[in-house]
Structure 1
Amino acid sequence: MDIITILRSGYLAASALVLLVALIPPFRSRFLAYGARTSPSSEASSAEKEKAAVKSPPSKSTLIAVLNRLADITVPHSWFTSFYVVCVGWSLVWASQLLTQGPLFRLVAAYATAERGATMTARQVAVAWAMLMVQGSRRLYESLEFAKPSKSRMWFVHWVLGIAFYTTTCMAVWVEGIPAVQAHNFSLDDIAVTGPDLRTFASVLLFILASGIQHDCHAYLASLKSKPAPSPPTNAVQINERRRDESNESGRYKLPDHPAFAYLIAPHYTAECLIYLSLTMVAAPQGGVWVNLTLACALVFVVVNLGATADFTREWYRGRFGEEAVKGKWRLVPFVW
């Protein structure tokens, strides 16, 4: 089967899975929340699960028990960092494979069997690869720099999908340029700086702006969970209070008042969508095509996944801070949703 078709189908199937979880209440309540959004009512949620299992008919009780058992299979939220390790790692691997047309590249190329009239240029492959490498490296830095000690967890499928997404996207940025890579001999001349065409200029500019906004949002959100270092405890009472404060620290969140959050629930999610939109544009094959269809399918997954999370985040804000906290704010796409 054609590798490009497999990648596109995989992104769309994953999008459908996320939609299924988001639209069915029993799935949504158990599998969608992760990180801070699980902290306010974890004990209440467990009690509700037990109560529902007791009151339900036997058949339904069994189903609820299965769902609860699945929801309990979680991994530490800090494992998010592994997504970006995978992204950077695979980007470096594919850089060496593309430059040398190594065995992994030849293996993938052998499965690119479908005839397609348009292809990316070698320069487009280089630019798209570099953009994803920058994105993965920045997010890895942010994950390490802004990380706070936390006991938050996420459903294991979130982690599996994330690893799969970054593994496949490191291929998607160049897979529609396989013919150009095969026909091109990379040399020092390829690093010469030349004027970009309008599409490349617009795509890279959008990428830079969206990356800057996202970084600023991430730094700001990390600061909300920061607090000045306390003075050293001097007696047993202070030590106990200090321990209690530390144990409750993961549950202390403030309502964002950064300008980027004035009209959006999660502007860093919107920025992420714009970043992948810029990749979709810059990697569009030659011949009048405006988007790279493989990366467009990846963008669909990003929009669906972050859209579902943004919607859940909106509910979490409303429950924690009240209706006024979300009034007049868009979930993901300004003026649309």
Structure 2
Amino acid sequence: MTLSPASICQASFVGLGAAIMVLTLLPAAMQKHLLDYGARDTERAASVDEVQGKDNGESKSKSEPLPESGVLERTVATVVPYLQVPHSWFISFYVFYLICSAYWAAQWWSWRQARSGGEMPDNLFGRIVARQQTSDPVLAAMPATPMALLQVYVAFGLEALQTGRRLYEYICVFKPSKANMNIAHFLLGLMYYAIMSVAVWVEGSQAIVSMKQHDAKLKPDIAFAADKEALTKIVVGTIFFLLAWGGQFRCHVHLAGLKKYSLPEEGLFRYFVSPHYTCELFLYGALSIVTAPEGRLVNRTLLSSLLFVIASLGVTAGRTKQWYSDKFGAERVAQRWRMIPFLF
């Protein structure tokens, strides 16, 4: 049986998350070179502090470089410095996602406007939607639209709102950074956002096709038609999304206002090491509620994106807590969760 585009998105998210988890099985010295960057790169952070005279006496201890005893470890230590890109390239994730979203919106528009004689134009958006219909036996057997078109539009809008805010933060809130990151982080991020740009609408393909079959031009009564169940999911999911959206922005403003390499202690940082990552989980969890098809609590494709988010941000949160413990003392962060309340 041919995999549907939604299933491909789900498998891709799982694969990306698994790739991150594989790195955590490597020797500690290799993990340091592959996973740490910025403040968590303890050797770099220490050298910056020495040059700039920023050792303010708060540091309880300094991490010693881990021994690289094996040939593989030494090879990684030698090669990785040549595979670094500026951490400021993070901004390209959000530019890239917005470009992808604009591309799919244009494809959707042209697919609708170019319809002639009952034939759908052969653009990429149309092919993905058609394949989702023909390759998913559950959708093919359903006479009713399992997801309202309004849910698709709200998901598009919320994800664009999140990405636009992150772009604003990198331009107007965050301070310029000289930190680097492994190019693998960069490539994984681009892959994630490319897949996410499809994931926010692919399970709504039946609603999109139904609208096309009803009328070549989108009418308000079609776009905003939604039953009580769909409206409830939109309202509940959007409320959670906006709360997490605002919470993450406040976390980022606090981090941006800190003295370099100091311990954040205000707001949610009193309870979490990385509350901005906690908010990220709630953002995509809320989005999966907004887009949940009829009879389901969540959208499986968007929920699967959480596997990658948990894997990638969970590893970073864990290493951040260790870095805080080494630099400021374990007792100062001992009572804080890394990212997930009551669990991690």
Common fold by TM > 0.5 = yes
Aligned to 2:328: 321
1:219 and 2:253 matched: yes
CA distance in 2 between counterparts of 1:217 and 1:190 reads 39
8 Å contact 1:15–1:304 — kept in the other structure?
yes
2:33 maps to 30
Query: Aligned residue for 1:166?
Result: 193
Give the alignment partner of residue 126 of structure 2, picking from 78, 90, 106.
Answer: 106
DSSP 3-state at the match of 2:181: strand
Distance 1:98 1:264 in 2: 41
1:82 corresponds to which of 82, 88, 92: 92
Q: After TM superposition, give the deviation of residue 41 of structure 1 in Å.
A: 4.4
Q: Could you tell me which amino acid in structure 2 is paired with residue 294 of structure 1?
A: T
Q: In the alignment, which residue of structure 2 is the partner of 1:151?
A: 178
Q: Which amino acid aligns with 1:201?
A: V
Identity, % of aligned positions:
35
Aligned to 2:58: none
The partner residue of 1:181 within 186, 189, 208 is: 208
Cα distance in 2, alignment partners of residues 42 and 19 from structure 1 = 29
CA contact (8 A) 1:98 1:105 kept: yes
Quote the residue 1:254 is aligned against: 262
* Cα deviations by residue, 1:81-139 (Å, 9 ceiling, x for unpaired): 00000111111221222234361211322442222247422111111111111111111
For residues 161 and 297 of structure 1, the distance between their equivalents in structure 2, rounded to whole angstroms, comes to 16
Query: Deviations for 1:284-323, whole angstroms, at most 9, x for unmatched residues?
Result: 111x111111111101111111111100100010111111
1:116 to 128, 131, 138: 138
Q: Which of 226, 237, 246 is the matching residue for 1:203?
A: 237
CA contact (8 A) 1:98 1:181 kept: no
1:193 deviation in Å?
A: 9.7
Partner in structure 1 of residue 11 of structure 2: 9
2:309 maps to what in 1? Answer: 302
**Post-superposition offset of 1:8:** 1.0
Q: Which residue of 2 aligns with 1:230?
A: none
Q: Which of 281, 290, 300 is the aligned partner of 2:289?
A: 281
Q: Structure 1 regions of 5+ residues with no counterpart?
A: 226-251
The structural deviation recorded for 1:199 is 1.8
Residues 1:40 and 2:45 are matched in the alignment:
yes
Looking at structure 2, the residues matched to 10 and 192 of structure 1 have their Cα atoms a distance apart, in angstroms, of 31
Conservation of the 8 A alpha-carbon contact between 2:30 and 2:77: no
Shift in CA distance, 67/200, structure 1 to aligned 2, threshold 3 Å: same
For residue 253 of structure 1, what is the amino acid of its counterpart? Answer: Y
* C-alpha spacing 1:193/1:134, structure 2 compared with 1 (3 Å): farther
Cα distance in 1 for residues equivalent to 2:316 and 2:323: 10
Shift of 1:7: 1.2
State the Cα deviation string for residues 134-163 of structure 1 (Å, max 9, x = none): 111111111111232221000101100111
Amino acid at match of 1:213: G
From 146, 150, 153, the equivalent of 1:126 is 153
- Of 81, 94, 106, which residue of structure 2 is paired with 1:96? 106
- Residue 273 of structure 2: SS of its match in structure 1? coil
Q: CA RMSD in A?
A: 2.4
Structure 2: how far apart are the matches of 1:106 and 1:188?
Answer: 22
CA distance in 2, matches of 1:224, 1:261: 12
Matching residue's letter, 2:232: L
5+ residue gaps, structure 2: 49-61, 112-120, 213-217
Bigger shift: residues 202-211 or 106-115: 106-115
Mapped partners of 1:308, 1:270: distance in 2: 13
Report the TM-score when normalising by structure 2.
0.81
